[in-house]
């Protein structure tokens, strides 16, 4: 089976800018600070040069009243999953959700990586929140 492999683009971040993205993976973990978090893999969509490129983004559930506690609420609102009041977080409900983000390139430990610095809804407005439905089988 012949394949074409271009190693010139492997491991390199996408250029800084605004991108349409979808969540390709979401894992429930615990942050270094001991808070619940979801590690997402964001996939670039609708872009002629960078379609399919991925990078990770962490959504940390910081306790109310602490700095940054509203960031997870904004992220959930942008992807259309429950965000208001007492809700059960289900990372599997995040798969395939679309959003837009301003992405930067940051250097850490000698490596350049992408970072989503501003999260926005995929469309012009926030999506309708729908309860997670169980699979019918």
**pLDDT tens per residue across span 62-113:** 999 999 999 999 999 999 999 988 889 999 999 999 999 999 999 989 999 9
- Asked if residue 73 belongs to a domain, the reply is yes
- Asked if residue 30 belongs to a domain, the reply is yes
Where residue 97 sits, what CATH number does that domain have? 2.40.50
From the list 41, 52, 56, the residue with the least C-alpha distance to 6 is: 52
Query: Taking the alpha carbons of 133, 69, 16, 100 in that order, is the dihedral positive or negative?
Result: positive
Q: pTM of the predicted model, to two decimals?
A: 0.86
- Asked if residue 8 belongs to a domain, the reply is no
- Asked if residue 128 belongs to a domain, the reply is no
- Asked if residue 48 belongs to a domain, the reply is yes
Domain of 100 in residue numbering reads as 15-121
Q: What's the pLDDT tens digit per position in 9-45? A: 557 899 999 999 999 999 999 999 999 999 999 999 9
User: Residues with Cβ < 8 Å from 47, sequence gap 6 or more?
Assistant: 19, 20
> Per-residue pLDDT for 3 more than 80?
no
Higher pLDDT, 134 or 92: 92
Domain count, the chain: 1
The answer to whether residues 81 and 96 touch, using CB atoms and an 8 Å cutoff, is no
């Amino acid at each position: 089976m012949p394949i074409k492999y271009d190693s010139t683009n492997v491991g390199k971040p996408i250029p800084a800018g605004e991108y349409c993205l979808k969540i390709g993976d979401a894992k429930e973990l615990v942050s270094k600070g001991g808070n619940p978090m979801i590690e997402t893999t964001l996939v670039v969509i609708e872009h002629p040069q960078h379609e399919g490129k991925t990078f990770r983004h962490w959504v940390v559930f910081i306790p109310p009243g602490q700095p940054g506690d509203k960031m997870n609420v904004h992220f959930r609102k942008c992807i259309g999953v429950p965000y208001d009041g007492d809700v059960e977080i289900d990372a599997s409900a995040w798969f395939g959700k679309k959003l837009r983000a301003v992405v930067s390139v940051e250097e850490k430990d000698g490596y350049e990586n992408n970072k989503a610095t501003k999260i926005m809804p995929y469309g012009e407005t926030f999506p309708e929140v729908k309860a997670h439905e169980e699979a019918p089988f």
